[in-house]
Structures are given as C-alpha cells and as structure tokens.
Amino acid sequence: LAQALDGNPSAATLIVAFEAAGTYLRCRSPAMPRIVGLLAFLVLAAAAPRSLRRSAHHGLRPGEGAASINRTETVSGAQNLVEAGRKPKIKASRTWEKLLWDGDSGGHRVTRLKCGVTEQVHSASNKWEVCPEECPLFAEHVDDGIHCDFRCVPATVEACTEMNPKEPIPDDYLGYCRTCMVHGCKTCATDGTDTCSECSHGYYLNENGRCRNEFFWVGVAIFLFCLLLVGIVVTWVVSLARRPITNQDALNQALDHRSRSKLRMPRSMTQGRPLWPILTNLMRKSVAGPGIVLDFNFQFAIIAWASLMAISWQILASSVDSELLSLGTHRAESKRQNCIVVAFGYEAQKALMPYKVYFLFVAYAGSFLLAILFSMRQRRIFFDIDEKTSTHKDFCARIWNLPTMDGTELVEQEIKRAVADVVGDTVIGVSVCWDFAEQADVIQSALEKNLSEVEAKEIRARNISLPRESTEALQMPVEQARSDWWVFEKLEGLVFGSDTKEALDDAIVDEPKDTMKPEDYTKVCHDLKTSGQAFVVFQSESSRNAALEKVAEVGLTFRDTKIEMEEAVFEPASVNWANCVPMTFRRKVKLIAGGVSSLVSAMGIWVFCFYAPYAYFIMSFNYSYGQEPGMIANLAFTVVVVMGNGLMYYVCSEISDRVGFQVVDNREVCYMLLYSFACMTNVLLDMVVTYYMAYWMMVGVDMRTYHGTPLAEVDTFTERFETYAMQRALGQNLMAYSFPSTFLVPFVIEPFVTIFLPFKLMSYIVRSHGNIKPYDAEKFMTPLPMDLSRYADVMLNVMLAALVFYFPGGFTHRMFWALAFSHLVIYICDQYKVLRCIPSCYFASLDVDWWAQWMLSIPCALMLASTVFKMNCMEGHDCVGGYYLIVRCSMVFVAHMVLHTWVLVTWVPTWVKQATALHEQMPYKKCARMHAMSWFATNPVHCLRSQYIYGHSPPCDFCLIGKEHLLRVNPKENFWFKDTEAEVEDYTSANSFTQSIRKSWAGMTEEVREKGMMHWFTMPAETHSIHDVKFYDDTPPVSPGKAHRSLSRSSSEPPSMRQAGQQGQQEETLSRSSSPGSERGRPDTPGRMGRDRRHHTGV
C-alpha cells in the first residue's frame, strides 16, 4: 500500500479513504478493518500492478542484476504489506503503525526488532520499520565504529545520550533520538530539550535557549521599506484609477492608434486590414517575416524533442527496470533512512548504469542528428519564404565608401547618375545615410509636425462632434477635475506638466507646438553631412542582380573614389538610420568595454544583493533529521531566479541598444548571445553555490559514502560529486531550480509585467491628465516592440535540462516533461503576444536562428560529456579520478562543439542552397504599393530633404507604425503606397477575446475539413504573394479628411476612391501565378529612427 501511495496519487486517496473507513468500522467489528485492508490491497493491485510487483526500496545484493531484486529477509502478517513499499513522510509513521498491530494480541506492536540489539542497516532494510513499544526510539550507536548501526532504546534522555551525546532528545512522535531543532544553533543543549547552548556566527542566544539573527531588525527594516514602496505605488495606481476622466478623447485616439499599429492581414479593396486570427499557425504563416516563422518552429522543435526524451526514458524504464523512474527521488528524513536510501541507490545505480550509458549515447547521437536536420529544415523554410515573396530588400543594393558630402548638394541625384552611368538606366532612386544623431530630436519633431497636419482636420472635426458629456469633461474646471490625491498630482506635474486651464484646453488641439519655421528646417538639412553609405533602389530584382554583376566586373567610381556595392540582405524597416555612421576603432573598444563592464556590474549586483542573502540563509539552516526551509524560502528562491533573469534581460537589452548597430537583426544577435552568456554565467554560479550548499548539508547530517567514509573526509571534487548522496541532493536542487523557477514562472509573469500593467497604467495616466495631447498619448499607448530574445530563453532551459543526465535517473523524465509543458505554455503566450500585443514588425534575417542552431551544440556536448562521465569506472571501461576525469569530459565537450560548428558552417549550406526567386521580373511599383516601409519612407532625413530641399509635391511622408494610411502617392518620385485606416479593436467589449477565439477556431476547422489535419501542421511556410492583392490606382486622394477617415466609423469607402480603385485594378491586372501556399500580402513593418524604436515611442 505504501509503495502505491508514493507513486500513485489516486492510490493515496484510496488508502486514506479505506483507512478512515477501517478506523470507523473497528468500533463495530474487530474483523472489519482486516476486510477493508484486503479490499484496499486488491483495488490498488488492480490499479497499479507494476508498482506493487516489488519494492522500490529493496536493493541489489552484490553480484545480482537489476532484474533480480529480492528480499533478503522476510517477516509475517501485516508487516509484509509495509515492507512491500514505503511511506511518503516520516511524520506519518504513527498513522501507518496501525498496519503493525495485531488485533488479536491485545494491541501490541508486531516487529522483528529487539530492544538493546544493535543492527546495521543495508540496501534491503525496511526504512519504515518501527521499534517495539517498550523501546520505541531508534538511536545511532557511534562508539562501535560501525557505520549505519542503530539500536532500539527507551524514550528517555539518558538512553539517547548514552548512544549518541549529540542527539539527546527522545522524540516519540518521530520515533528517533534527535538533536535540537533550533535554527542557527551550533551546539545543542544536552538536557533533552529543544534549546541551544551555542549559536552559529551571526546569531545570538536569548534567555529561552533560542538563536536569534543579529541582523533581524535590519531585515525587518528592509522589508518594511519595500512594503512602503509597494504601498506607495499601489496607492498611486488606485488614485489614477479613481480620478475624474478629463482626457477621454485623447485616450480613444491613442487606443485606435495602438490597435492600428499591430500586425495586420494584407489590405484588400473593400475593407480595412483586420487582425490576424488568434489561432493562426505561426509555424506556417509569415505574419512578421521569416524570422518569426523560424522562432516558432524552433520552440515547437524543443517541445517535441523534450517529449521524445521523456517518452524514450519511460519506455526504457518499462523495459528494463521501473527503478529508473524513481532513482534519486526516494525520501529520507533521518540518518537511518539515509543509510538505507544511499545503500540501495548506490547498488541500483551501479547495476543500471550500463542501460543509462547506452541510452545517453543513443540520445546524444539522435539529438545531434536531429539538430543538424532541423538546421537544414530551418534554412529551407527561410529560403522558401524568401524565394516566394518580393520585398524592398530584393530591389536594393548597398553602396559604401562614399566621400563625405554636405547637405547643400543634391547628393541623391548625383549618386543616381553615377550608378546609372555604369549599370544602365534601371535605377529608381537613392536613399542616402546621414550623420544626424545630434539633430535627431529636431528632425523627429519636424516629421511629427508634417504628419499631424495631415490628421489635424479630421481630429478637429471629431472633437466638434463629441457628445455633450465628453466635451464638458474635457473643459471641466481644474478645481472640479482635481482629486484628493494632491501629493501625487504635484509629483506628476514634474513629469507631465501642470493641469492648468490652458493645458486642458490644449488637449483639443492635437498639433504639437513647434516654433521652427520652414527655413529653419532647410538650414538643418544643409548642415548635415553624409555618412559614407547609401541604398540604391532598382526597377526589379533582376536589374539589381545585373547591376551587381556589372559593378563587380568593371567597378564603380564616384568623385575619384572607388565605391563598393553589395546586395542588401535586410529590410529598410530594420535599419537604424541614426547609427549609419563610420565608427572608429577607439569608439568600438569604448563601447565594448562599457558593455562588458555594465554586464559584470549587473551580475555583481544580482549576486551580492539578491543571491548572497538567500545563500546565507540556506547555509545557516539546521538540516538535521529532515529539516528543510519552508515555503517562504522556496518562494524567495523563485523570486531570486526571476529577478536575476529579469535584470540580465534589461541590462543585455540596453547594452545591445547602446552599441550602435546599424541593422536591427545584428542587434538581436548581439542581444541573444549576451543574454545567453549572462544567464549561463548565472546558472554556473547557481550550480557552484548549490554544490557547496548540498555538500555542507550532507556534512552537517554526517552523511557517508556507500563504503562508510564520512563525506567530510572525501577530498577531491570528482569523488564528492560521484557519491550517491551528493548526486541525489544536486539532482533535487537542479529540479527545483529548473521547474518552476526558471522554466515557467518568469514567462507566466512576463505578460502581466510587459503588456497588461503598462497598458492599464498608461491608460489611467492619459485619461486623467488633460494636458497630454493626443499625439503624445499615442506614444504612451504604443506597445513594446518585439524582439527575438525567446531564443536565449529557450536555449537556457534546454541546457538546464541536459544537465539532468549527470544525476540519478529518477529526475530525467520529470525534467523533460516539465520542459515540454513549460514551453507549451510559452508557445501559447507568444502566440497571443505576436498576434495581439506587439507593433508591426518584420524580421527578414537568418542570423539569429543560425546562432541559435549553433547554441544547440552546447546541450549536445553536455550529453556527450555526461556519457563519458557515467562510463567512468563502469565494468569494461577504465577508471580515472580527480581532475583527469574533468579534463576528459572537457575534451569531448570541446570536440563536439568543434564538430557541430564545422557541420553547420560547411555541410549545411552545401546541402541546402538558395534557389532563384520566383518574381525577379516584378517591377518595383508593385512591391512599393504593397509594403509601406520603403527605403525612402523610413529614412527620416530623406523625407525632410524631399520637402525642404527638393520641394516634392507631395513630399515623401515618413512612415510610422499605425499611420501608414497617411502616406501620399507621388508617381514621379516613386512613392506608391496608399491605403485606408485599418479596422480598430473595441477595447470596451468584454467578449472581444472570446469572439476572436471562436472566429479563429471556425476558420481553422474549416481549413482542416477541406485540406486535412496534417496540412495544418506539415505544409511549408505560407507566404503572401503580391499578386493576390488588389491595389488602388495612382490618383491622389481627394482630401486628407477622406484619406484619413476610419472604416470603423464609415461602412463604405467614398465613391471617388472606390471608382479610382476599380479603375486602377483594371489598368493593373495582375497575374495569379503565385506559388502554392501564398495567399495575401505581408503586413507592413515598423519604421525606426535613432538607436531603437523603444526610445521614441512609449515610456
């Protein structure tokens, strides 16, 4: 029964039920408890026959195989039931003693142990045995020099002290003579009470014989201070939520902008672009470029791999020995139980080691092969998407080594003529990079002013048509709008400005105040200088390729300077235009040194401020007789891990932003590698501290090796690490560290911290501050941008899971099932995040995924090193000790890293090559009509020069996320994009999420019904062909008001626009020769200015 209880939760419920029934029926009939017990045994035997087949506590006799585990001694009656299993907790021993009472013998306990007889326990001993009633306590005999020698003694202080002076307390409830259980005690009192005579360092002894922490009040003060800060923040948020709404119009406009800035399905002729269905298969649908498709395929591959490892290990256990599923997880909360568990575990692990080594070798080879095949599949997916789609990068070539030129010159036209003289008249235009970092704020202000002028007319009209209550709220007197929380309002005035009457009136005027005149912006353009590189746009992809071949053959010279030209491999939305400046070697060294020092400083803060206090508490704890830190300590450990990972997340993100990458994809690679390095360093530090903590815990309870050597006398690291006691303790700590602290908790908290809380807080701020203009409110409500940091999170979890092979097998399937479950939750959260919570983006590079594929070599190398480690001293293999074993494992680790890297660099590109694009002859005009983020509209200086230097009419409008519909067409300058406002979400509806789920589920079931279930999972990644979209013609919009009118407020387009669109559709009849799987155009991508989008939008 106990065996079933420890391995089957449902069986535990049955046992408790039958035991309660037996206790009740004992009063009615003496025979009824036996009937109930027999019935319980039969039910459990049918429910879990294998778990009752043999005891998991019966060890191997020397020379026996894993399948020949038998008892070496037997007892009769009810004791056989107890010896057939084990109990979960020692504190439940008195309850289970009912099975050891003979109802016909007057209530006396039946046991084979005798008083005063010393017995050495071994692997076949029953750890749940109890002493006779007249001598009910176990006491260790320390004077005979025999390890694991115990005797049953009376429950007196004298009897306990005679056997072991360090354990003078008779505990009849636990059934052992024990030491005092006083936290922080160094030497216990010898009077048989739970008091201390000498406290450990950092504690003092009070009058009650208890140890008190010397820094107790310091901890209380820190706790109260943190509680005060939390209380202030909560009070502030409550005050914001309860304040009168004085700026609802700005909040509505900001919410509409937030909705329009999200990832959208391709635009169509008759309606605004809707959001993607919430159940969209992101492993196939390219909603934000191939980078997101590869990311979700990577996550799914990890889930499948973890499930495969767990299932394989369970199959091995069912075929060989079910002890593989529990080895290392047996509970032991006393010296006697530890002796039995260590003896049994050592013998069982030694007997089962060949099976584990064979499994490890197969798992390593299979994982290595799957990693290479998966890398090939990822590369094929990327090329498949790139071949079937045409984006702005396919028409562009990057040139550099240009001489420095002033803004007074017509640089774009001069470069265009120079390139056309060499490659022919196929150049559309040139987008030049400028050194404008110092003028970024001025340029941004000018671009925002231009966009606000386009929106101004409609916003004013919208304010006029507001309901009477809303208009009155906006014009509410300051005295009525103020709340009782005047302290917070004073502090907020320092950040958001004062809520004066003039500020509230300005809320209706949405145009940002700008004192600069057009001639001032012209002067700004004249003062700028080029940065030495530019992007040349061609009429088609084939003409771009021909130009590259021509330049490579004859060369390109501009102003007596040889110019280099190469293919653009990134999208214009990925360019950080302010960073496109030459960087000196000194500046590079300075940035790198600053980043490394920041990372080291952050890690030091985490170690000394967060981890050190927790480690100090854990190491000062009294672990005698099964004492363990409680729930608060475990919660503190989880908080430490989460805060450490969060701190590294922020620091690595800031370092990557400040390095000054010109392309966002390179920034993502840097961030992923930095974050992975920081987290792996944290994990390594955790493992080192955990090792020493486990070692001191084992020494504190006088733990010994299988052969009786005290663990304190084992000198070398490898010998300590190989002891079963340390293996068991480290495996438990690794499991606790991984799940849920690292695998799950941070990712469950992440949506609340990064999405929900900022959204609600910014909503409260905007609606209660009338001086926040709608244009600024849009920035406050802009969601956080997307990054590819999930690769680093996934790889950290995979590396932690791979470490489980160094420890007993009972943790293996638990670890991998926890990994699979956690990443399934992460996948679901990321699915919702991408489709509903991030601004529009486009990741077009393979670099981040390639580095993630390379990082897969680390868990594979760990598996190979663990195989070598477990093979050491196994029968038929040599035996090395000390640091020679570490060197051997390190050598095979490095060897696999080299092999894995060589295969990725040389073989995989040879096996998977990029084919010719399907749309090489497609003109640039069609691509520009579909994708708003062009090389011209994303370059802030180009937009400014278009208006103030070249005088284009209309000029090149700067493209912002959510405002793509403001772009105006100018065929002469190749500005082709035009669209209406996208549909906006209804944030006031409580059923919007459920309706989205139902709609998506209906669409998915229809697709499965038509094409089959396997089509939804196995088809290649779907892209969106440009030939599947209907475009408007080249006719400019009639007025900004009509072009800006939201479809959410108008059920149909203006007739003039609809007729123009139909006419343009007839003139531009596009062929339907798109590749299989291509359905619609891809969503637009975000423009960037400065280092990163997050520095210009939001708070």
- 447-to-522, 788, 937, 942, 955 alpha-carbon distances in Å: 13, 29, 11, 11, 11
Is the pLDDT higher at 334 or at 527?
527
Question: Highest mean pLDDT range out of 73-77, 318-322, 631-635, 769-773?
Answer: 318-322
pLDDT band at 325 (very low <50, low <70, confident <90, very high): very high
Give helix 541-554 / helix 411-423 axis angle, nearest 10°: 80
Q: Which of 906-920, 961-975, 996-1010 has the highest mean pLDDT?
A: 961-975
pLDDT reading at 206 higher than 80: yes
142 — pLDDT class (breaks 50, 70, 90): confident
What was the pLDDT predicted at 458? 60
Residue 754 in this model has a pLDDT that exceeds 70 = yes
Q: CB–CB of 1068/1034 below 8 Å?
A: no
Q: 676 falls in which pLDDT band (50, 70, 90)? A: confident
What integer is the mean pLDDT of 314-338?
89
User: What does the mean pLDDT of the chain come to?
Assistant: 76
The Cα–Cα gap between 391 and 567 comes to: 13
Across 248-270, average pLDDT:
82
Q: Can you give the pLDDT at residue 53?
A: 34
Give the pLDDT score at 610: 72
Considering only residues 1028 and 667, tell me which one the structure prediction assigns the higher pLDDT. Answer: 667
Of the pLDDT bands very low, low, confident and very high (cuts 50, 70, 90), residue 769 is confident
pLDDT category, 1044, cuts 50, 70, 90? very low
State yes or no: pLDDT of 199 exceeds 50. Answer: yes
Across the range 634-645, mean pLDDT stands at 69
Block residue for tokens 């997880």: 329
In single-letter form, the type of residue at position 740 comes to P
What average pLDDT does the segment 376-387 reach?
A: 92
Tell me the mean pLDDT in the region 796-807: 94
Give the mean model confidence (pLDDT) for residues 623-639. 62
Q: Which of 37-41, 686-690, 1022-1026 has the highest mean pLDDT?
A: 686-690
- Diameter over CA atoms, the chain: 113
DSSP character string of 232-295: HHHHHHHHHHHS----HHHHHHHHHHHHHTB-BPPP-SSSPPPBPPTT--TTTB-SS-HHHHHH
Instruction: Tell me the pLDDT tens digit for each residue of 487-530.
Output: 666 666 655 554 443 443 444 334 445 567 888 889 999 999 99
Model confidence at 597: pLDDT above 70: yes
Mean pLDDT of 1012-1020: 53
Determine the average pLDDT of the residues in 1030-1048: 37
Q: What is the pLDDT of residue 454?
A: 74
- pLDDT tens digit sequence for 416-468: 999 999 998 889 999 999 999 888 888 988 888 888 887 776 656 555 443 33
User: For the CA atoms of 733, 123, 126, 328, what is the dihedral angle to 10 degrees?
Assistant: 20
* Mean pLDDT comparison of 916-930, 935-949, 986-1000, highest-scoring range: 935-949
**pLDDT tens, residue by residue, 77-86:** 323 333 333 3
Has this prediction a pTM greater than 0.85? no
pLDDT band at residue 43 using 50, 70 and 90 as cut-offs: low
Residue bearing the bigger pLDDT, 1024 or 404: 404
- Do β-strands 396-400 and 211-213 pair in parallel, antiparallel, or remain unpaired? unpaired
- pLDDT band for position 189 (cuts 50, 70, 90): confident
Q: Which of 9-23, 244-258, 905-919 has the lowest mean pLDDT?
A: 9-23
Which tokens hold the place of 697? 């815990």
Read off the pLDDT of each residue in 983-993 and give the average, rounded to a whole number.
Answer: 72
- Beta-bridge mates of residue 139: 151
Closest CA to 857 of 928, 937, 798, 911: 798
Check residue 1001 and give its pLDDT.
Answer: 66
Q: Are 244 and 483 in contact (CB under 8 A)?
A: yes
Q: What is the pLDDT at residue 84?
A: 34
Position 85 scores a pLDDT of 37
Mean pLDDT within 115-142:
89
CA distances to 75, 401, 932 from 918, rounded to whole Å, are 80, 32, 22
848 to each of 903, 980, 1093, how far by Cα in Å? 18, 34, 19
pLDDT digits (tens, 9 = 90+) for 535-554: 999 999 999 999 999 999 99
